[in-house]
């Protein structure tokens, strides 16, 4: 006997700092600002919050980091903590909050993330991978490039297909006044860029950014009682963990994103054709192509045809990353995608998709080690 | 790459050494002698790398090191045009690959080839013993 939680919880508020370089700001300070703004957006008094989930900064792991955020916000949560699943953490924490609320363990949860790799240290992105430094095996982007090359060789994906993802995020980000990189990119410009770690060039890679984001989650019933102005229902979520290092994965070109999406669609009682807009984790261009394939928006090996000709840009069949994603808005690992999903469902996005009723959001972490999907409605 | 060349071009910056522990010591000792080995589970016949204390399939700790045939295939590769460590600045561009040994285990390696962009997914490869920073390592070349 299972309970379907679809629509039981809502995202009641969102808040973020500026994106880009925020010199002198600690991650704790940025988290507090994002939380303050999210609570204001929801119209919730801080003292009503009884749960706090935090994603630890990528650039610096700190023991008991969640307790530091609780102290800085003057909270003594009933439940919560730090979730260590990389960029998949934010959606995962939102789903744990929804489950905990329904189980009576808490009533109003805050989920937040902050990091400052741009003005602080970005060393975690270029570290050696595992025990293979002697082979020159360095940096996160190289592992994603390894996956991209396999995808190209096995399934016929071309650099133009990777480029279509960068072009879409950059076009959308250029129109977002809060985006860190507001410079549109043409496919010709993309194709002319020199390789960095081939098959990737610079513009296949996420930005490095300072900033924080937070969301407030509560039951739909509570939001109604409190008069929350624009609650966005959480219709579905699902997780999947691919877990193994890239070199050890028997299948390099598909991940447990498939399981995550299946779980989320089943919970929401929806299918791919019900999705009007998507925010797909674009730490690297290949991630968007593989996620869309694993989510079933294109058959395996046919993603190039799906993304070409502006099909994932505003006005296309499935607008993706309408505020610019990690490639253009901010390199923040995933919270900004949730915020844009909320704005699309509220009807207040800068690049609003007309009549959009359902948005799917993906978060993923490590080198596609972890994945989480979230479906929002109205 | 012989020991003389290694000394002459020894980078000022030192690469992180592999974690050589009780389990992995035999792997590195064998590589130092030019032999590529992998772990074989006596319980379930699984073969794997890198070194670990228990078989990741049946979780038993009853295994032995076997010498690899040296035959492998190319799963994927990348070409670094940017160095993320000073030790690699003078080697650009260089490649890093994932290969699958004929016996099953997969590993990170380098392919010995002038232009790595000419490689093809799944092409057959052969083990080439090499040395880096005093450690034996396993490179591969097109078969």
Q: Which candidate from A134, A149, A246 shows the least CB-CB separation from B132?
A: A134
Chain A partners within 8 Å of B78 (Cβ):
142, 145-146, 149, 197-200
Identify the closest residue of chain A to B76 by CA–CA distance: A150
pLDDT-derived band at B5 (thresholds 50, 70, 90) equals very low
State how far residue A367 is from chain B, nearest Cα, in angstroms: 15
Q: Do B106 and A247 touch (CB under 8 A)?
A: yes
pLDDT at A1: 56
Q: How do B63-67 and B106-109 pair as beta strands?
A: unpaired
Chain A partners within 8 Å of B88 (Cβ):
136, 138
Chain A partners within 8 Å of B28 (Cβ):
none
Peptide bond into B93 cis (omega under 30): yes
Q: Where are the domains of chain A?
A: 9-118+207-376
Q: Exposed, middle or buried by CB within 10 Å (0-12, 13-18, 19+), for A43? A: middle
Chain B partners within 8 Å of A200 (Cβ):
78
B→A interface, C-beta within 8 Å: 15-19, 50, 75-82, 84-85, 88, 91, 93-94, 96, 98, 106-110, 117, 120-122, 132-133, 135, 137
Q: Selecting from 2.60.120.260, 2.40.50.840, 3.40.470.10, 3.50.50.60, what CATH number does the domain B3-142 have?
A: 2.40.50.840
User: Which among B84, B86, B115, B118 is the top mutation candidate for probing chain A, defined by the most A β-carbons within 10 Å of its own β-carbon?
Assistant: B84
Q: Point out which residues pair with A62 in neighbouring strands.
A: none
Q: What is the mean pLDDT of residues B65-90?
A: 97
Q: Which run of H or of E encompasses A264?
A: helix A257-268
CA-based end-to-end distance of chain B: 19
Q: What six digits make up the tokens of A81?
A: 């903590």
Kindly report the average pLDDT of chain A as a whole number.
97
Peptide bond into A199 cis (omega under 30): yes
pLDDT at B11: 45
Q: Do A198 and B16 touch (CB under 8 A)?
A: no
Residues A100-131: pLDDT tens digits? 999 999 999 999 999 999 999 888 888 887 78
Output the DSSP codes for B14-72: PPPPP---TTTHHHHHHHHTT--EEEEETTT--EE-S--SS-TTT----EEEEE--SEE
Which value does ipTM take for this structure? 0.95
Sheet holding A79-82, edge to edge: A79-82, A51-55, A108-115, A211-219, A9-16, A232-241, A370-376, A359-365, A277-279
Residues B14-62: pLDDT tens digits? 888 998 999 999 999 999 999 999 999 999 999 999 999 999 999 999 9
Is-contact A90 A55, C-beta < 8 A? yes
Q: What is the mean pLDDT of residues A261-285?
A: 98
- Residue A128's alpha-carbon distances to A132, A290, B52, B95, in angstroms, are 7, 24, 19, 15
State how far residue B7 is from chain A, nearest Cα, in angstroms: 15
Chain B partners within 8 Å of A130 (Cβ):
50, 108
Task: For residues A17 and A221, give the distance between their C-alpha atoms in angstroms, rounded to a whole number.
Answer: 29
- Residue A112's alpha-carbon distances to A74, A90, B115, in angstroms, are 15, 7, 46
Chain A partners within 8 Å of B133 (Cβ):
134
pLDDT at B137: 97
Task: Provide the sign of the torsion angle of the four alpha carbons B113, B116, B118, B124, taken in this order.
Answer: positive
Q: How do A200-201 and A277-279 pair as beta strands?
A: unpaired
Q: Point out which residues pair with A144 in neighbouring strands.
A: none
Task: For residues A106 and A103, give the distance between their C-alpha atoms in angstroms, rounded to a whole number.
Answer: 8
Q: What six digits make up the tokens of B140?
A: 């591969």
Q: Which run of H or of E encompasses A96?
A: helix A89-102
CA-based end-to-end distance of chain A: 27
Chain B partners within 8 Å of A122 (Cβ):
none
Q: Do A196 and B96 touch (CB under 8 A)?
A: no
Chain A partners within 8 Å of B132 (Cβ):
134-135
Q: Which fold has domain A9-118+207-376?
A: Peroxisomal Thiolase; Chain A, domain 1 (3.40.47)
Q: Do A131 and B88 touch (CB under 8 A)?
A: no
Identify the closest residue of chain B to A244 by CA–CA distance: B56
Residues A30-61: pLDDT tens digits? 999 999 999 999 999 999 999 999 999 999 88
% of chain A surpassing 70 pLDDT:
100
Q: Exposed, middle or buried by CB within 10 Å (0-12, 13-18, 19+), for A367? A: buried
User: Which among A124, A127, A128, A136 is the top mutation candidate for probing chain B, defined by the most B β-carbons within 10 Å of its own β-carbon?
Assistant: A136
């Amino acid at each position: 006997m299972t309970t379907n939680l679809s629509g039981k919880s809502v995202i009641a508020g969102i808040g973020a700092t500026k994106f880009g370089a925020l010199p002198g700001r600690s991650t704790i300070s940025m988290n507090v600002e994002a939380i303050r703004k999210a609570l204001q957006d929801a119209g919730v008094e801080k003292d009503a919050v009884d749960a706090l989930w935090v994603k630890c900064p990528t650039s610096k792991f700190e023991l008991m980091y969640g307790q530091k955020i609780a102290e800085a916000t003057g909270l003594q949560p009933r439940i919560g903590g730090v979730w260590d699943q990389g960029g998949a953490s934010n959606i995962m924490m939102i789903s744990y909050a929804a489950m905990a609320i329904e189980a009576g363990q808490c009533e109003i949860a805050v989920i937040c993330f902050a990091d400052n790799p741009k003005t602080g240290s970005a060393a975690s992105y270029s570290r050696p991978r595992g025990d293979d430094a002697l082979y020159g095996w360095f940096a996160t982007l190289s592992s994603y490039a390894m996956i991209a090359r396999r995808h190209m060789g096995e399934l016929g994906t071309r650099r133009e297909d990777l480029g279509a993802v960068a072009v879409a995020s950059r076009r959308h980000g250029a129109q977002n006044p809060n985006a860190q990189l507001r410079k549109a990119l043409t496919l010709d410009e993309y194709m002319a860029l020199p390789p960095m770690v081939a098959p990737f060039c610079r513009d296949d890679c996420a930005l490095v950014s300072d900033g924080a984001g937070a969301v407030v989650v509560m039951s739909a019933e509570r939001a109604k009682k409190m008069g929350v102005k624009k609650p966005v229902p959480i219709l579905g979520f699902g997780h999947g963990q691919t877990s193994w290092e890239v070199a050890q994965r028997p299948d390099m070109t598909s991940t447990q994103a498939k399981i995550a999406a299946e779980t989320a669609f089943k919970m929401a009682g929806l299918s791919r054709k019900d999705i009007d807009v998507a925010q797909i984790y674009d730490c690297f261009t290949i991630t968007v192509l593989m996620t869309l394939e694993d989510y079933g928006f294109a058959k395996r090996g046919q993603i190039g045809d799906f993304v070409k000709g502006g099909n994932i840009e505003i006005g296309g069949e499935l607008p993706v990353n309408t505020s610019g994603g990690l490639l253009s808005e901010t390199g923040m690992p995933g919270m900004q995608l949730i915020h844009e999903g909320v704005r699309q469902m509220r009807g207040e996005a800068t690049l609003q998709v007309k009549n959009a009723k359902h948005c799917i959001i993906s978060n993923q972490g490590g080198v596609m080690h972890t994945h989480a999907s979230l479906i929002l409605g109205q | 790459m012989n020991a003389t060349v290694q000394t002459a071009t020894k980078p000022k910056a030192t690469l992180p050494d592999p974690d050589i522990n009780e389990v992995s010591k035999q792997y590195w000792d064998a590589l130092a002698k030019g032999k590529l080995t992998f772990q074989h589970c006596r319980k379930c016949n699984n073969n794997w790398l890198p070194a670990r204390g228990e078989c990741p399939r049946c979780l038993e700790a009853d295994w032995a090191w076997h010498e690899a045939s040296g035959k492998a295939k190319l799963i994927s590769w990348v070409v670094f045009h940017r160095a993320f460590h000073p030790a690699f600045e003078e080697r650009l561009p260089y490649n890093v690959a994932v290969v699958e040994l004929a016996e099953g285990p997969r590993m990170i390696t380098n392919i010995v080839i002038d232009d790595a962009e000419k490689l093809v997914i799944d092409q057959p490869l052969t083990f080439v013993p090499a040395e880096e920073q005093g450690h034996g390592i396993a490179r591969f070349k097109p078969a």
